[in-house]
Structure 1
Amino acid sequence: MQLNRFTDYSIRVLLYASVNREQLITMASVAAFYHVSVEHMRKVVHNLAKLNYIKTYKGKNGGFELACDPTEINLGHVIREIEGLTPLINCEKEECRLNPQCTLKGILREAQMAFISSLEQYTLADLVTDQFMQKSLNIQLIQKS
């Protein structure tokens, strides 16, 4: 299983916001940090705000910030909400001669749920406890000072 790019950048935005909590973050700054277009970042930030992971503020001095403490943001929940739980294979799309007896669909669903369950053991705070991660994500704001 591979996370899509939108989910990847959603997690990256949350990580960046988690480490840089002393001021509002602009889409331009996070887009520049990750070398992504501002337009793509706008879609990611909009979705994270819709899911109540971040708060956004409009205007000249606007930006965004985490909506809650990083310890309250569960990694498995974030991925489940953004990725969804689409079956890993679609047995209904094409007629399959094995479908009546096949157990693969159920096994893959079990594996998918185990993947999400494993991720649910971690919060955003767990991802940023590493000193290297904190320094790497905070460098953009340090350079502006």
Structure 2
Amino acid sequence: MRLTTQTDYALRTLMFLASKEGSQTIDDIASAYGISKNHLMKVAQRLASEGFIISQRGRGGGLTLARDPAEINIGAVVRALEEVSQFVECSPGSTNNCIVTPVCGLSHMLADAVEAFLGHLDQFTLSDAMGKRNRFADIFEVALA
């Protein structure tokens, strides 16, 4: 399983925000990671709509975490950004044109694997992913210098 670029950037954005005090700009986050500002704007919009961050427009605006890092579950972030229920064509609720579906057990195996993957991520918060939070801040300071 591979996470989409959007989910990758979302997790990176959350870690950046968790490592900083106060509101941060898309420009700073994009510069720190060397990623597309335009793509990151879409990611930030999605994170805001899902309630993980607060986005404030205008002068003095920017992005902040909506909750404490210890309250942001990694599994919840991945579920919000990934289409995990449509992992393969024959997943329940999808348009299925596979002729072997009536006799195939693969979709159940894959569904169980995705649930195990997400269940594992459910054990962790953004705070857990940060490890040594001050080390993140140091790395970002060097990247933005």
Percentage identity across paired residues of the two chains: 33
The answer to whether the 8 Å contact 2:53/2:65 transfers is yes
| Match runs of 1:117-132 below 5 Å | 117-130=119-132
* Structure 2 counterpart of 1:95: 98
Listed as ranges, the gaps of 5+ residues in structure 2 are none
- Alignment correspondent of 1:8: 8
Structure 1 consecutive aligned stretches of length 4 or more whose deviation exceeds 6 Å: 142-145
In the alignment, the residues of structure 2 paired with residue 81 and residue 144 of structure 1 have an alpha-carbon distance, to the nearest angstrom, of: 29
Compute the TM-score of the two structures, normalised by the length of structure 2.
0.88
Tell me which residue corresponds to 2:31. 32
Q: Distance in 2 between matches of 1:23 and 1:142?
A: 19
Q: Alignment length, in residue pairs?
A: 141
* Deviation by residue 1:50-75 (Cα, 9 ceiling, x = unmatched): 11111111111111100110010000
Deviations 1:7-37 (A, max 9, x none): 00000000000111x2210000001111112
Which sections of structure 1, spanning at least 5 residues, go unmatched? none
**Secondary structure in structure 1 of the residue aligned to 2:63:** strand
